[in-house]
């Protein structure tokens, strides 16, 4: 898929952000369209920094952002962006004494859903979306990590945002909850721009038509998951013995060694690469493992 940078819903150009001597973002350019984009990168890659800038809670040292044509540096435009935003921060501070429904009602008020009936409907809608309706009166302090994560996703969905930013939404979810999350994302009404971060390539392969790989504060890949997988073509092979020349190798469930590297030996049994292979190879090339 080609991305037309001039018409993309969300654009960032030349974004840089340092914390002391740490270069968290280094001249990042990207564009996001409606639909789901996955932001893939290891811990420390700059994902949270990037998403927090898009969510207007952090500012770059250099570069600019445009969200639906609006500039977050302008106070009035920033408010307009926030009105259209749903954000799950990586660490959402919860008021532990709130109930699930009470917390969602509180966030809905902050989101300017002033009509009581509409607010009640909206709270019920997002609770159902994450299957928390039977926990409406449970206090947040009594929720497990996975349930709390679902509550965080629910509050981001309030008010049908046009831009939905989810920072590691699948962290802490068990496999079944992850599947439910995938289902939920495929079904978000209103065709918003959705960007989610993860360090797990399987999340990307399963739900994101587009992927951006962030390594050491730089965008190292932007395209489809299929293209990321294909970038490792000819560089993944299987063998009965471990090949020391591979960058990475592990023994699979079939007892064969699976190798990733630049130079498969002559006659190697090449294996169809996965998104994870493409990602690992790219990480290796960047020295970011």
Ligand X SMILES: Nc1ncnc2c1ncn2[C@@H]1O[C@H](COP(=O)(O)OP(=O)(O)O)[C@@H](O)[C@H]1O
Q: Which residues bind ligand X (CB under 6 A)?
A: 19, 22, 24, 41, 43-49
CA distance 86 to 48: 15
**Shortest separation between residue 171's beta carbon and Mg ion, angstroms:** 9
Q: Which positions from 26 through 55 interact with Mg ion, judged by CB under 5 A?
A: 47-48
Look at residue 45 and give the partner it binds from Mg ion, ligand X, none, a contact being a CB closer than 5 to 8 Å depending on partner kind: ligand X
Nearer to Mg ion, 47 or 178 (CB): 47
Nearer to Mg ion, 53 or 104 (CB): 53
Look at residue 278 and give the partner it binds from Mg ion, ligand X, none, a contact being a CB closer than 5 to 8 Å depending on partner kind: none
Nearer to Mg ion, 47 or 210 (CB): 47
**Strand arrangement, sheet containing 210-215:** 85-88, 163-167, 193-198, 35-40, 210-215, 218-223
**Shortest separation between residue 242's beta carbon and ligand X, angstroms:** 31
Span interacting with Mg ion, options 28-36, 74-82, 84-92, 248-256, rule CB under 5 A: 84-92
Binding-site size for Mg ion (CB under 5 A) equals 3
4, with CB counted inside 10 A (0-12, 13-18, 19+), is exposed
148, with CB counted inside 10 A (0-12, 13-18, 19+), is middle
Q: Which positions from 86 through 105 interact with Mg ion, judged by CB under 5 A?
A: 90
CA distance 50 to 45: 10
**Shortest separation between residue 283's beta carbon and Mg ion, angstroms:** 16
CA distance 256 to 119: 56
Nearer to ligand X, 18 or 34 (CB): 18
- Picking from 65, 13, 45, 1, the residue whose alpha carbon sits closest to that of residue 224 is 1
Q: Provide the β-strand partners of residue 62.
A: 16
**Residue 58 interacts with Mg ion (CB under 5 A): yes or no:** no
Beta carbons of 282 and 276 less than 8 angstroms apart: no
**Shortest separation between residue 178's beta carbon and ligand X, angstroms:** 19
**Shortest separation between residue 56's beta carbon and ligand X, angstroms:** 16
The contact set with Mg ion (CB under 5 A) reads 47-48, 90
């Amino acid at each position: 898929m080609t991305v037309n940078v001039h018409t993309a819903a969300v654009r960032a150009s030349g974004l840089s952000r340092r914390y002391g001597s740490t270069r968290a973002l280094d001249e990042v350019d990207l564009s996001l369209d409606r639909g789901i984009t996955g932001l893939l990168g290891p811990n420390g890659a700059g994902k949270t920094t990037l998403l927090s800038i898009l969510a207007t809670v952090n500012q770059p040292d250099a570069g600019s952002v445009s969200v639906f044509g609006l500039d977050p540096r302008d106070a009035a435009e920033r408010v307009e962006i926030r009105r259209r935003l749903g954000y799950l921060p990586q660490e959402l501070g919860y008021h532990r004494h709130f109930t699930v429904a009470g917390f969602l009602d509180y966030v809905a008020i902050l989101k300017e859903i002033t009509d009581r009936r509409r607010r009640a409907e909206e709270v019920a809608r997002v609770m159902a979306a994450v299957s928390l309706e039977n926990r409406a009166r449970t206090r947040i302090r009594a929720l497990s990590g996975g349930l709390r994560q679902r509550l965080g996703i629910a509050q981001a969905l309030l008010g049908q945002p046009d831009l939905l930013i989810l920072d590691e939404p699948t962290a802490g979810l068990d496999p079944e909850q992850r599947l439910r999350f995938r289902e939920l994302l495929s079904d978000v009404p209103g065709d918003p721009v959705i960007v989610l971060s993860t360090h797990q390539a399987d999340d990307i392969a399963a739900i994101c038509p587009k992927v951006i790989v962030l390594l050491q504060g730089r965008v190292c890949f932007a395209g489809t998951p299929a293209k990321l997988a294909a970038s490792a073509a000819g560089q993944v092979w299987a063998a009965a013995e471990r090949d020391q020349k591979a960058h990475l190798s592990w023994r699979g469930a079939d007892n064969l060694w699976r190798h990733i590297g630049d130079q498969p030996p002559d006659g190697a049994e090449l294996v169809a690469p996965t998104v994870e292979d493409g990602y690992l190879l790219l990480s290796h090339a960047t020295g970011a493992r």
